Amino acid sequence: MARAAARQGMRKSEATRLRILDAAARVFARRGYADTRLSDIAEEAGTFAGSIYYHFESREELVEAVLTLGVTGVFEAVRTRVEALPPGSSHRTRLTAAIETHLAFALTQDPFATANQRLFAQVPADIRQRQIHLHRAYGEYWRKLLEGARRAGEIRRDLDLSVLRLQILGAVNWTVEWYKPGKRSIEQIAAQLATTIFDGIAA
């Protein structure tokens, strides 16, 4: 009985932690790092600042946890979607799926990804430093996608793939700065991004 009660207590504590993280992601994404107070996050989570301090030592620790969930979440979603494609899918199909998934993840599906993209440049340098290996792993995945496409002869040989990778992710990530739900669907934006990236805008 004591063990069951302890387990239930742990579950409740874990649930509160997750609720705080979720609220933190949403408030940080909405207001930016400089403008967010722990009391705003507590309010969003329906708890008190004291409860946040029970789970996280500081605003820095909290933002770091949010950022980590942001990068690892989008990476997993993209990889899962690409790996679920039928074997023998073209590299264009694979890259298009990666672009669509990253975009959709950033724009709606996940407050952590949105927060990550808006916050990364804003947080103190030492936090950014500790996040870099996560970004590198995701960048490495994209590098392999693009190298595969080039090896298969599906993309031009004269392009610098590092610039290309950052160029694609830049166009995708920037949508977070301007997208408002309603006017255009995420599918429409993803379709235009994918088609112009592959075929260009020239008539």
Q: Any contact of residue 118 with a copy of itself (CB under 8 A)?
A: yes
Query: How many other CB atoms are there within 10 angstroms of residue 93's CB atom?
Result: 15
19/92 with CB nearer a copy of itself:
92
> 3-state DSSP call for residue 136?
helix
Residue 164, interface with a copy of itself (CB under 8 A)?
A: yes
Binding string, residues 122-141; x marks residues near a copy of itself by CB under 8 A: xxxx----------------
Using CA atoms, how far residue 133 sits from 81, 183, 185, in Å, is: 22, 36, 33
# residues near a copy of itself by CB under 8 A = 46
Residues 87, 103: Cα–Cα separation, whole Å: 23
Q: How far is the CB of 95 from a copy of itself (least distance, A)?
A: 9
In the list 27, 28, 33, 110, the residue contacting a copy of itself (rule: CB under 8 A) is 33
Q: Which residues contact 109 (CB under 8 A, 6 or more apart)?
A: 77
As measured in angstroms, the least distance from the Cβ of 179 to a copy of itself is: 9
Contacts of residue 120, defined as CB under 8 A and 6 or more positions apart, other chains included, come to: 67, 128, 131
Q: Which of 108, 111, 132 is nearest to 28 (CA)?
A: 111
Residue of the chain from 87, 88, 153, 182 that contacts a copy of itself (CB under 8 A): 153
**Residue 17 structure tokens:** 């932690």
Kindly write out the interface string for residues 56-95 of this chain, putting x where it contacts a copy of itself by CB under 8 A and - elsewhere. Answer: ------------------------------------x---
| Whole-angstrom distance, CA of residue 88 vs CA of residue 91 | 9
Q: Is 18 in the site for a copy of itself (CB under 8 A)?
A: no
Could you list the residues that contact a copy of itself (CB under 8 A)? Answer: 31-35, 92, 118, 121-125, 153-157, 159-160, 163-164, 166-175, 177-178, 184, 188-189, 192-193, 196-203
